[in-house]
Amino acid sequence: MAILKKTLVLTCILLFVWKPLYATTEQRLQLLESQIKAGMIYNFLKYTEWPESALPPAPAPYIVCILGNNSFSDALAPLEKRTVNQHTIKIHILHNAEKAEAQECHLLFIGQDKKAEWLSLRLAVSKRSILTVSDAEEFFVKNGGMIEFRKTNNQMDVGLNMQALQSAQLQVHDRLLALVTIVHPPSSESER
């Protein structure tokens, strides 16, 4: 064990000595994809304004719904212990694409394995104030979804469909808008 400790101490010293080097080469945080997505979903709640008709006053909960495969349920779970803008948060795992259930959500995540289900849910959901999010790259925002996770070159990017947000009466904070890629789907595709 003494050797282990020594090793650890040595490693720590090395880390300190090498720290300036990191500061130049390693400015970025390294995070798991699931952590980034969970963190972003939290921030989507934080930087989106729902109309009063859709979200009762605090502490009424935000209902976050998950449909389909995702890699971040575990990372998202601790969210229930938090509040955003004084609202509590509830996570619902949907097992099938029931319209009634989906219409109760404030944020609906569609896994990329549920593209077909999205196409059937889309009409029922898009006129309501439901922030829709998916990791179905190059599919979701083209097909009436609002926010799409896109991973490129080891960084997470977000595609955002303004038209879909506006018609759902959702307002996104400029701080978030400044970071995302605004997508303008062909009008025939974006709505309806």
Partner 1 sequence: MYTNLVGNKIRTKSRNCLFLGLTTYLFLFPEYSLATSNEEPFELSLEQLFNATVISASKTEDKWWTTPASVYVVDNQDIQRSGATSIPEALRLVPGVQVARVNASGWAVSVRGFNGALANKLLVLMDGREIYDPLFSGVYWDIQDTPLEDIERIEVIRGPGASLWGANAVNGVINIITKSAADTQGGLLSGGAGNQEHGFTTGRYGVKLGENGYYRIYGKYLNHDNEKNLAGINSQDNWSAGRGGFRADWKGNDKKSSFTLQGDAYQSDSSQLRTTPLLSAPYSRTGKEEITARGGNILARWKQDLQDDARLSIQSYVDFTSREQMLVEDRRTSFDLDAQYELPVWNRHKFIIGGRYRYSADELTPSSFVSLESAERNDQTFSGFMQDQITLQPEKWLLTLGTKFEHNDYSGFELQPNARLQWHPNETQMLWTSISRAVRTPSRIERDVNVDLAAFPPSVALPVPILLQLQANSDYDSEELTAYEAGYRHKLTSDLSFDISTFYNDYSKLATNRFLPFTIVNNGVDPLHILFPIHASNDTKGESYGLETTLDWQALEVLELSVGYSLLEIALHGPEPDIAINAESAEEQSPQHQFNVRSMWDITNDLSLDTMLYYVSSLPAYQVPDYWRLDTRLGWKINRQLQFSLVAQNMLDSVHREFGAPSDVNSIEVGRSIYGKLTWRF
With binding defined as CB under 8 A, does residue 151 bind partner 1? yes
Length of the chain: 192
Q: Which of 113-124 are b and which e, b meaning 16 or more Cβ less than 10 Å from the residue's Cβ?
A: ebbebbeebbee
Count the site residues for partner 1 by CB under 8 A: 50
**15 to 54: interface string for partner 1, x by CB under 8 A:** xx-xx--x---x-xxxxxxxxx-xxx-xx---x-------
With binding defined as CB under 8 A, does residue 93 bind partner 1? no
What CA–CA distance (Å, rounded) separates 147 from 165?
Answer: 9
Among positions 112-131, residues that touch partner 1 (CB under 8 A) are 115-116
Q: Minimum Å distance from CB 53 to partner 1? A: 27
| Contacts for 34 with CB less than 8 Å, ≥ 6 apart | 71, 72, 74, 75
Binds partner 1 (CB under 8 A): choice among 6, 9, 14, 51: 14
| Contacts for 182 with CB less than 8 Å, ≥ 6 apart | 160, 162
- For residue 59, is the peptide bond before it cis, meaning its omega torsion is within 30 degrees of 0? yes
Phi, psi dihedrals of residue 20, rounded to the nearest 5°: -55, -35
Q: Of the two residues 4 and 100, which places its CB atom closer to partner 1 in the complex?
A: 4
Instruction: Give yes or no for a contact between 110 and 136, defined as CB atoms under 8 angstroms apart.
Output: yes
Q: Segment near partner 1 (CB under 8 A), from 1-9, 51-59, 121-129, 160-168?
A: 1-9
What CA–CA distance (Å, rounded) separates 122 from 99?
Answer: 9
With binding defined as CB under 8 A, does residue 12 bind partner 1? yes
Binds partner 1 (CB under 8 A): choice among 7, 99, 166, 182: 7
With binding defined as CB under 8 A, does residue 177 bind partner 1? no
- Residues in contact with partner 1 by CB under 8 A are 4, 7-8, 11-12, 14-16, 18-19, 22, 26, 28-36, 38-40, 42-43, 47, 69, 71, 75, 78-79, 82, 115-116, 137-139, 150-158, 175-176, 179
